[in-house]
Amino acid sequence: MKDVYVIDLIQDFLEHVEIEKGRSLNTVRNYELYLNRFYEICSEDLNHEMKPADIDAEMLRKYRLKLNRHEDEHHHRLTPQTQAYHLIALRGFLKYLARRQIKSLDPSLVDLPKTHRPQVTFLHYDEVQAMLDEIDLDTETGLRDRAIIELLFSGGLRVSELCNLNRDDINLERKEFVVRGKGSKDRPIFIDDSAASRVKDYLCARHDSLPALFLNNSRNHGETDTKGDYRRLTPRSIQRIIEKYTRAAGITKHVTPHTLRHSFATDLLMNGADLRSVQSLLGHSDISTTQIYTHITDTHLKDIHKKYHSETN
């Protein structure tokens, strides 16, 4: 029987994840990064090309140790969450081998490290309004930036979902549309009258026929990209826009586009929305992901504290 090597099987697995599992290209690229790192770290101790049977409990132990001590060029260590992503990719790869009846380490032996969710940062409505008040609406850029912030706060979009929007994707009359989120799952997005009006104002100010909903200010007409995607805003560009108005409003919190998604969720819960509905609006597959917001939106606990806690004179 012809020998099979791990490096070739990793490529087969990535194609399986993309085609048969239907995962996004971003997910595939992440899996490729994690599994290539596994291969580089673990093949150092071998004097031959790594085979599936070489992956055993001892190799896993050493890999986890080196992963925990791994530093990038800036001497930053991998967070427990990032280490967990590496191990999830490895476990998925081992499950793939098991289904193909290729002898290797039992995937059930890959335990994930305990991780702690980071503290959720969100903005109250008045803080969002303070950001909006700093925007100059006499320019096309200002109209764009206002539409972006209102859309993020009103619809709870991920920044990647926002960047991928085209003009034709969003129905400003019905104030609803569909985005394809993580895991290639579609979900409805609903926006308020103000957000719809701001997007309409921005589109009316534009004098181009490019499909992207939000454009950067580049006027480089030498580009040959007929779709106009060279002018589509990137997640990093939107991050800079958010940072600009956060500073201008005097907000000292670290605010990102995802902070506005957190703010969308907490605003709903604080105003009485049920957890299941918020889960659906955010596109969370597991309600435990949505539950990170409950400890900061549980007004019942505030009432209990006010009623029963002794106040000092």
**Domain spans, the chain:** 6-109, 125-302
| Segment 203-220, tens digit of pLDDT | 999 999 999 999 997 665
Crossing angle between the packed helical segments 193-205 and 140-155, to the nearest 10 degrees = 150
CATH fold, domain 125-302, is hpI Integrase; Chain A (1.10.443)
What is the arithmetic mean of pLDDT over 223-227?
Answer: 52
In this prediction, what percent of the chain has a pLDDT beyond 90?
A: 67
Encode burial over 200-211: b for 16+ CB neighbours within 10 A, e otherwise. ebbeeeeeeebe
Which contacts (CB < 8 Å, 24+ apart) does range 123-132 have? 123/251, 123/253, 123/255, 123/259, 123/260, 123/263, 124/263, 125/267, 127/249, 127/251, 128/153, 128/260, 128/263, 130/249, 130/250, 130/251, 131/245, 131/246, 131/248, 131/249, 131/251, 132/245
- Cβ atoms 82, 115 nearer than 8 A: no
The label of the residue with tokens 């504290």 reads 305
* Residues 3-29 pLDDT 10s: 889 999 999 999 999 998 888 788 899
- Which pLDDT score, from 0 to 100, does residue 297 have? 64
Residue 294: what pLDDT?
75
Known catalytic residues are 158, 182, 258, 261, 284, 293
Residue 114 pLDDT = 76
- Does residue 285 have a pLDDT over 80? yes
How far apart (Å, rounded) are the C-alpha atoms in residues 266 and 124? 9
The predicted pLDDT at position 224 comes to 46
125-302 and 6-109 share a CATH fold = no
82/68 Cα distance (integer angstroms): 10
Residue 120: pLDDT band (50, 70, 90) is confident
Token pair 């949505």 in the structure block, residue: 290
Residue 300 has pLDDT above 70, yes or no: no
Contact 62, 45 (CB under 8 A): yes
Q: Which range (97-101, 227-231, 288-292) has the least confidence?
A: 227-231
Give CA–CA dist 115/117, Å, rounded.
Answer: 7
pLDDT for res 222: 47
- What does the alpha-carbon distance between residue 56 and residue 166 come to, in Å, rounded to a whole number? 48
- Diameter of the chain by CA atoms? 84
Amino acid identity, residue 126?
Answer: D
Q: Which fold has domain 6-109?
A: DNA polymerase; domain 1 (1.10.150)
* 298 has a pLDDT exceeding 90: no
* Per-residue pLDDT at 186: 87
pLDDT in tens, 246-273: 999 999 999 999 999 999 999 998 888 8
